[in-house]
Structure 1
């Protein structure tokens, strides 16, 4: 018996990385999954996550085909690079916010009423540790993810009494298509050991480690978890970054 038996789930950004890992895990746990992405692939519905027309049509089509929606994983996002405030244009910001922040808003707006009709459900949004504090992403990306964290809190409050839960996952450094340039650079220069060196786990994460948290939030096991932003970052956000060598090592 799976954790998501008889559930219908939407996963955006489902063609690779965290979205693909989550879609595969949700299916393995019994859910019927509709995965969407702007990049077409096997079993992928093409979707511009920041387009209101496309998101509304996507949600309505899913409901018509499958009878309803129980789980939404609003995971689609773009990086926008590491440019600072003074190197980016308003156009750059508008596009990053359109996909990363307006996208989750649109899924909540159009999916939540259907979930309410079914007696509840779980909405999960991918935020980032970059939305918790500076230094983990570019300016616009960080601002967009901070917005996602605020969005889930507001949405959870406005859906009070519906049994629709809304939470965010804040990944740290995860090896995905978005972070591929960093990983490739580290490996090509013999500096792979530096990946994730600032978190207590001393490593980067894998998409499946985020997908496992998404599964928990999607399931009834998280029935009392609502309006939260959960960091999954190897402990990076537990402190201000420092070099552990400066403090010495202590045995447990």
Structure 2
């Protein structure tokens, strides 16, 4: 099936690389007009900070005035913040990670929903993570921010009741992107590439296109009765509870 987004207008944040770039490419291939945004310059990229309200408002207004409306917002932009422990992170670390990862999707919903309502329908997709489901898959602030995204889409789905606007999240597992480059590079340098993703039943990491296809499903009418849901795309990682205890040095419990 092709043309699943024919005639739709979409915004994709974090679109200069990784999952966002793959999604923007796929959405266009399926017929959408895509406003691709990122803080990093790139081909066909609109420079915008997804965690800054003025920038999100500008993206939404641009879609409405230049293209006639907005049907899809893929709030994908995010930062990892590293794997430092709670006892090593600062309030400033948390503020920046939450600003991009959680306030960004909040702003997308806040400003996209009124424009979508005028169109009679819409789909908002937010990138969460398996790290937001349980501990062990990311740093403290990152994991908390992604748990917040999962809660946010549930709340937004209920507050938009009757507007015919669906709000869902995707929870990727280990995907090869700029955010995980260090993990992949270190494994390959050590000759342990076959260990990447070994904790999930598929025994491999994922590709950005595999998450982009999940985003396409949630953005399109194929998921017309899916709302307030966190779709896990992780090779089966979260069906079990793998756990690795880290030694945080001076702080022992």
TM-score range, shorter chain: over 0.9
1:202 deviates by 0.3
2:108 is the counterpart of 1:107? yes
Q: 2:175·2:207 contact (CA, 8 Å) conserved in 1?
A: yes
SS at match of 2:204: coil
2:24 match = 23
1:156 match = 157
Alignment of structure 1 residues 118-137 onto 2, 5 Å: 118-137=119-138
1:239 deviates by 1.1
1:242 deviates by 7.4
SS at match of 2:198: coil
Q: 1:22·1:208 contact (CA, 8 Å) conserved in 2?
A: yes
Distance in 1 between the 2:59 and 2:231 partners?
27
Q: 2:136·2:243 contact (CA, 8 Å) conserved in 1?
A: no
When the two structures are superposed, what TM-score results if normalisation uses the length of structure 2?
A: 0.95
Distance in 2 between the 1:33 and 1:57 partners?
15
Distance in 1 between the 2:240 and 2:177 partners?
24
Stretches of structure 2 that go unaligned for 5 or more consecutive residues are: 245-253
Distance in 1 between the 2:11 and 2:160 partners?
19
1:62 deviates by 1.6
Alignment of structure 1 residues 58-77 onto 2, 5 Å: 58-77=59-78
1:241 deviates by 1.7
* Deviations 1:139-174 (CA, angstroms, capped at 9, x unpaired): 000000000000000000000001100000000000
1:238 deviates by 0.5
1:179 match = 180
2:33 is the counterpart of 1:32? yes
Q: 1:198·1:242 contact (CA, 8 Å) conserved in 2?
A: no
* Deviations 1:88-109 (CA, angstroms, capped at 9, x unpaired): 0000000000000000000110
Distance in 1 between the 2:239 and 2:232 partners?
9
Distance in 2 between the 1:225 and 1:35 partners?
25
Distance in 2 between the 1:14 and 1:54 partners?
15
2:171 match = 170
Distance in 1 between the 2:56 and 2:42 partners?
18
* Deviations 1:109-160 (CA, angstroms, capped at 9, x unpaired): 0011000110011000000000000000000000000000000000000000
SS at match of 1:179: helix
Alignment of structure 1 residues 1-252 onto 2, 5 Å: 1-241=2-242
Pairs aligned (count): 243
1:57 deviates by 1.7
